[in-house]
Structure 1
Amino acid sequence: MQRIQFDPEIIYVQKIYFFMFLATLTALSCAIIFWLLGLFFALLVLGIGLSVSYIAMLTKKTFSPPSKALTAQRMAHEISQDTRPVSIARFACQLYYYFHEPTQAISLLEKFLPSQDPLLCTTLADILLKEGKTKQALYILRENSFALDDPLLLATQGHVLLHIGKIREAANMYERSLLIAKQNGFPSSGAHWFTRKLLTLSYMASIHHTLADCYCLLEDLPSAKQQYRAGNLLLFDLSLWRHSIVRSL
């Protein structure tokens, strides 16, 4: 069975919710211990429980997705009632990641591409990049009317440029993406506000880290260290902290 490969930003959100679930169990246990044995033992349970919860989050690397049958039912229900760009993008991602249907996912996104929606365009370009169609991905991104104004479009252009070896241009895109994201934020993904907040922090950390990789390749080590540090400070999970360029680059 082919494993679903989630983006690191999604993994981070899942890890945070996993920690919160364990922390909630710890808090309930703490309340019971406080009622039965008193404050000292309650605080002891709280400290141990939170420590174990955090370590469990650090070591958690994968998450099981819902069953394909359940996902298909949800997809059919959502797409029949909601044709907003965010829903189309989510539907295409499920086709690509859950059902491994790149042709259908790309075809669906291309159908709605004239809307010029940044999220749709970014999703399509990201899938094309993963499928090795870098020139097509870059063309679609640059043709979008928000190409130089949307942080996700800018960051995705950076990914494509980095992939084809245009390091300086990629760094420029990441720098502009961070600047605009800090001013205006990222476009809404339709998720709950807390999930959106986590995704924003995760995406910004990822851009900082990738920009740092660019600086490493450009032999600007002081700037690279600064960007690694900036990205790390946005992440609660120490296992996702970065201090050097990844070997795959």
Structure 2
Amino acid sequence: MQGFQFDSEILYVQKIYFFLFLATVTTLAGAITFWLWGLDCAFLVLGFGISISYIAMVIKKNFAPPAKNISAKRMAHEISQDTSPVSIARFACQLYYYFQSSAQAISLLENFLPGHDPLLCTTLGDILLKEGKAKQALHILRDNPFALVDPLLLATQGHVLRHIGKIPEAANMYDRSLRLAKQNSFPHSGAHWFTQKLLTLSYIASIHHALADCYFILEDLPAAKRQYRAGNLLLFDLSLWRHRPHPAINSTRKTNKSR
């Protein structure tokens, strides 16, 4: 699984749990220090340990996924016990990301499209976009009856529209997604409530950053700065903060200006 890269939203959750693990170890060390040498030494250990934990989280760029045989056994067990949309979407993602079985993942999700579940549709659209099938992804996303009322569907449509160069339309989708997410929150992913909260914050921050990229391409720099700042304030990890577009966005802006 070398070279596997998680999406930034998932990576953020992993980094937070990594920090919490290190912070827990630090707290235990502080408690032992307090028992042996007193409060002043304990505070010193805590301060130093928490600082090191945060730095370690910031510089951590990736996490190794489980071994394939472990993932396969877990997938088989989960799908035999639960056939909910959340479980199916997770199964498809594991097929695609862990096992590089794009055809199987797409086929699985397409079988459940008639149910119009937003999560399954979003997952399929995201995979199709990554496979370079942007127009097919957009068609599937727009065909869903929840296309204009589900935050994740709207955000994924924004990703596709931005990919094919329809920047104003993408910005509109991102803006609508953010407004709906603030009103109704994101659909529950089936994760623990704390993980769900982290995912929600991470996805909202990502959409703010994507909207900022659109504004940058459209040369509305004050609006872009506001959106970058809004996204950054939701993220505890400074390494995921954004103040400017990625190089690819800069090239897109130059291309648009030359037309």
String of CA shifts for 1:128-176, please: whole Å, max 9, x gaps: 0000000100000000000000000000000000000000000000000
For residues 5 and 69 of structure 1, the distance between their equivalents in structure 2, rounded to whole angstroms, comes to 19
For residues 146 and 175 of structure 2, the distance between their equivalents in structure 1, rounded to whole angstroms, comes to 16
For residues 81 and 31 of structure 1, the distance between their equivalents in structure 2, rounded to whole angstroms, comes to 42
Structure 1 residue 56 and structure 2 residue 56: aligned? Answer: yes
For residues 5 and 110 of structure 1, the distance between their equivalents in structure 2, rounded to whole angstroms, comes to 25
For residues 234 and 96 of structure 2, the distance between their equivalents in structure 1, rounded to whole angstroms, comes to 29
Aligned to 1:141: 141
String of CA shifts for 1:45-97, please: whole Å, max 9, x gaps: 00000000000000000101111101100100111111000000000000000
Paired residues, number? 249
For residues 124 and 81 of structure 1, the distance between their equivalents in structure 2, rounded to whole angstroms, comes to 22
Which one-letter code corresponds to 2:179 in the other structure? L
Please give the secondary structure, in 2, of the residue aligned with 1:4.
coil
String of CA shifts for 1:97-137, please: whole Å, max 9, x gaps: 00000000000000011110000000000000000000100
Displacement of 1:180 after TM fit?
0.1
User: Unpaired runs of 5+ in structure 1?
Assistant: none
Aligned to 1:121: 121
Aligned to 1:89: 89
Which one-letter code corresponds to 1:138 in the other structure? L
For residues 19 and 191 of structure 1, the distance between their equivalents in structure 2, rounded to whole angstroms, comes to 19
Aligned to 1:45: 45
Displacement of 1:2 after TM fit?
4.3
For residues 50 and 78 of structure 1, the distance between their equivalents in structure 2, rounded to whole angstroms, comes to 36
Please give the secondary structure, in 2, of the residue aligned with 1:248.
helix
TM-score normalised over the length of structure 2: 0.95
Aligned to 2:35: 35
Which one-letter code corresponds to 1:194 in the other structure? F
For residues 93 and 4 of structure 2, the distance between their equivalents in structure 1, rounded to whole angstroms, comes to 11
Which one-letter code corresponds to 1:166 in the other structure? K
Which one-letter code corresponds to 2:236 in the other structure? F
String of CA shifts for 1:152-209, please: whole Å, max 9, x gaps: 0000000000000000000000000000000000011100000000000000000000
For residues 28 and 64 of structure 2, the distance between their equivalents in structure 1, rounded to whole angstroms, comes to 25
Aligned to 1:189: 189
Structure 1 residue 201 and structure 2 residue 215: aligned? Answer: no
Aligned to 1:131: 131
Displacement of 1:248 after TM fit?
1.8
For residues 221 and 235 of structure 2, the distance between their equivalents in structure 1, rounded to whole angstroms, comes to 22
Runs of 4+ in structure 1 displaced over 2 angstroms? none
Aligned to 1:4: 4
Structure 1 residue 242 and structure 2 residue 217: aligned? Answer: no
For residues 10 and 2 of structure 1, the distance between their equivalents in structure 2, rounded to whole angstroms, comes to 17
Which one-letter code corresponds to 2:166 in the other structure? K
String of CA shifts for 1:223-245, please: whole Å, max 9, x gaps: 00000000000000001100011
For residues 2 and 238 of structure 2, the distance between their equivalents in structure 1, rounded to whole angstroms, comes to 28
Which one-letter code corresponds to 2:110 in the other structure? E
Please give the secondary structure, in 1, of the residue aligned with 2:211.
helix
Displacement of 1:3 after TM fit?
2.1
Which one-letter code corresponds to 2:243 in the other structure? H
Quick one: percent identity of the two aligned structures? 76
User: Unpaired runs of 5+ in structure 2?
Assistant: 250-259
